[in-house]
């Protein structure tokens, strides 16, 4: 006594889901890259707007981002870590000379999460 169970449709579904996962990752990486670029641009604009002096323009030009997959690190390069700390934190005589970078990230977060949700919805 036995029976036969046709699993071909389940296999096809598994293949489709595997393909969809790869497609989601590629599209999501593009969304993260766009979000990182937006945050970088906002940070640069804030640094120059806060003080249009030469050192703030140089500091703004030093802000970049690195992306690895779905992760992005945004901020100034750390060639001169002391200056970076002074710009963001200030010292015992002065306060910060550029706005907190988390403001730019918080401003971009709703757009980024919405775009990522759209990627997921498009796949399904």
Reported confidence tier of residue 82, pLDDT bands at 50, 70, 90: low
| 34-51 confidence digits (pLDDT tens) | 999 999 999 999 888 876
SS3 letters for 20-63?
HHHHHHHHHHHHHHHHHHHHHHHHHHHHHHHCCCHHHHHHHHCE
How far CA 85 is from CA of 43, 58, 89, 119, in Å, comes to 15, 15, 5, 37
Answer yes or no: is 14 within a domain.
no
Which has more pLDDT, 59 or 79? Answer: 59
For 38, the domain range is 21-123
Residue 6 lies in a domain: no
Q: Within 10 A of 11 (CB to CB), how many other CB atoms are there?
A: 10
Is residue 9 included in any domain, yes or no?
no
Residue 10 lies in a domain: no
Does 72 map to a domain?
Answer: yes
Please tell me whether residue 75 adopts helix, strand or coil conformation. Answer: strand
Number of structural domains the chain divides into: 1
Model pTM? 0.78
């Amino acid at each position: 006594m036995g029976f036969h169970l046709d699993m071909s449709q389940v296999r096809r579904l598994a293949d489709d889901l595997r393909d969809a996962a790869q497609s989601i990752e590629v599209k999501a990486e593009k969304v993260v890259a766009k979000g990182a670029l937006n945050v970088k641009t906002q940070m640069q604009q804030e640094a120059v707007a806060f003080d249009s002096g030469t050192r703030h323009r140089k500091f703004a030009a030093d802000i970049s981002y690195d992306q690895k997959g779905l992760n992005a690190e945004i901020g100034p390069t750390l060639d001169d870590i002391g200056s970076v700390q002074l710009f963001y934190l200030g010292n015992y005589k002065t306060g910060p000379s550029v706005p907190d970078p988390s403001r730019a990230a918080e401003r971009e977060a709703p757009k980024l999460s919405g775009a990522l949700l759209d990627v997921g919805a498009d796949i399904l």
